[in-house]
Amino acid sequence: MLTGNTPEQPARLYTEPPITAFGNASRQFDQAAHVLGLTDNQIAIVKLPRLIVQANLPVKMDDGRIRIFQAFRVQHNKARGPAKGGIRFHPDVNLDEVSALAFWMTVKCAVAGIPMGGAKGGVVVDPAGLSVTELERLSRRYVAELIEFFGPDVDVPAPDVGTNAQMMGWMMDTYIMHTRRYTPAAITGKPLEIGGSAGREAAAARGLLFNVQRWAQRTGHHLRGMTVAVQGFGNVGSWSARLLAADGCRVVAISDISGAYYNPDGIDVEAAIGHARANRGILASYETKPGVKKLDDAMHVLELPVDILVPAALENQITVKNAGRIRARLIAEGADGPITYDADEILNQAGIPVIPDILCNSGGVTVSYLEWVQNRIGLFWSEERVNRDLEEIMDRAFDAVYETAQHRGISMRMAAFVVGIELVVRASEARGLYA
């Protein structure tokens, strides 16, 4: 893209405005608002987060020192139900990022048809640098300090990057010890023994699989033999690789914080998961396996000529800098916000379809919702039952987005925003503004 192409002002390369996650989210919102023709009042009521909580959590370290951890919880919108969203433990997490993630949760829940609003939490910490006992004290402190903002009818946290089922168990216990009521529905993504749902661990990736399958069905493609590259090999990345491989795809590249690993004949996903498990959760030294090559630059995992690219690490991975080099035939977003607003335009122009995060990875929050429902009615459903419900919800959501995209001639991402934001606006108007 060129701008300022006049004799006085020589052409210069377009540079993307500074990328912030909430900046991206706001531009997405504005475009969807334009497509929907929202009024200023409608925009005012759904654009900004409704509640922002910031805290400094004191936590005693194993050596007796007290360390302060900066923490956030943002509730974006609760017009359709209690807020729902994960808690991220990461050294770079900040209020801008958490606010964007909370907004995406609002839209994600609406697109999936889940009666919940959107929230997200974060703690500025590198969890790998803490002992298990320190992580437990930090997880408990987070809930103890912010307890008035949580509850099954208020705001229901879940795991995200850097947090896991065990931490959710500690958080649930802290909530129960403070409130003196057994309310497992206060937190989802818990261990099975204390009310976690069957199928929750794989849910985001299984939802991704259902979306990719539905896309293939509706566009006349066959997944068998399709090549796949996956960025990120945590919960979403490793499960996506596993489930796509089990469905007949050939996973040729995987990556994580340690680098990117490529085998054109296909990565043995189960062996890679075993390798990471035995190696503190990371793939480091996976290039020592037969046929596997480590890419010089881990970001090149995004640029391989594959059928399906699954970004499943963090946001802002595909930007104007590398969007023009993407050669995938389909991008299925496992991560939240992996493609910037401007990069999205480049991919649209190149005709590369993107199944957007707020649809593609919504299997995670969907099974979290099913866990919340099971906890509230005191029942446990089988994994088959949970997966069946998940598939039905994903197919319905995919069809609504796909048909809106076709009907309006817009990308699937914009269609998902249009579908989701319209539902939130309608719910807000049906409730009216309490004064």
Calculate the dihedral angle through the C-alpha atoms of 123, 125, 126, 131, rounding to the nearest 10 degrees: -100
231 near ligand NAD, judged by CB under 6 A: yes
152 near ligand NAD, judged by CB under 6 A: no
In the complex with ligand NAD, the residue whose CB is nearer, 336 or 425, is: 336
Reduced to 3 states (helix: H, G, I; strand: E, B; else coil), residue 287 is helix
For β-strands 250-256 and 308-311, DSSP reports them as unpaired
Of 60, 120, 289, 321, the catalytic one is: 120
Rounded to 5°, the CA angle 92-412-311 comes to 35
311 near ligand NAD, judged by CB under 6 A: no
Reduced to 3 states (helix: H, G, I; strand: E, B; else coil), residue 67 is strand
Among 25, 98, 228, 236, binds ligand NAD (CB under 6 A): 236
**Nearest distance in Å: CB 351, ligand NAD:** 25
Closest C-alpha among 37, 38, 57 to residue 46: 38
Crossing angle of the two packed helices 203-219 and 363-377, in degrees rounded to 10: 130
> Looking up tokens 């919340």, which residue turns up?
372
**Nearest distance in Å: CB 322, ligand NAD:** 13
Q: How far is CA 368 from CA 25, 137, 159, 199, 303, in A?
A: 23, 24, 10, 10, 33
**Nearest distance in Å: CB 115, ligand NAD:** 18
Amino acid at 2: L
For β-strands 293-294 and 259-262, DSSP reports them as antiparallel
Q: Stretches 45-53, 214-222, 231-239, 422-430: which one binds ligand NAD (CB under 6 A)?
A: 231-239
Active site residue 321: no
Q: Which residues contact 370 (CB under 8 A, 6 or more apart)?
A: 197, 381, 386, 389, 390
In the complex with ligand NAD, the residue whose CB is nearer, 170 or 233, is: 233
Q: Stretches 130-138, 180-188, 232-240, 391-399: which one binds ligand NAD (CB under 6 A)?
A: 232-240
* Window 14 to 73, contacts with ligand NAD (CB under 6 A): none
Among 157, 184, 334, 356, binds ligand NAD (CB under 6 A): 334
Q: Stretches 40-48, 216-224, 225-233, 324-332: which one binds ligand NAD (CB under 6 A)?
A: 225-233
For β-strands 259-262 and 155-159, DSSP reports them as unpaired
Among 361, 374, 387, 404, binds ligand NAD (CB under 6 A): 361
118 near ligand NAD, judged by CB under 6 A: no
Length of the chain: 435
Q: Which residues are catalytic?
A: 120
Binding site for ligand NAD (CB under 6 A): 159-162, 204, 231-237, 255-257, 298, 312-314, 334-336, 361, 364
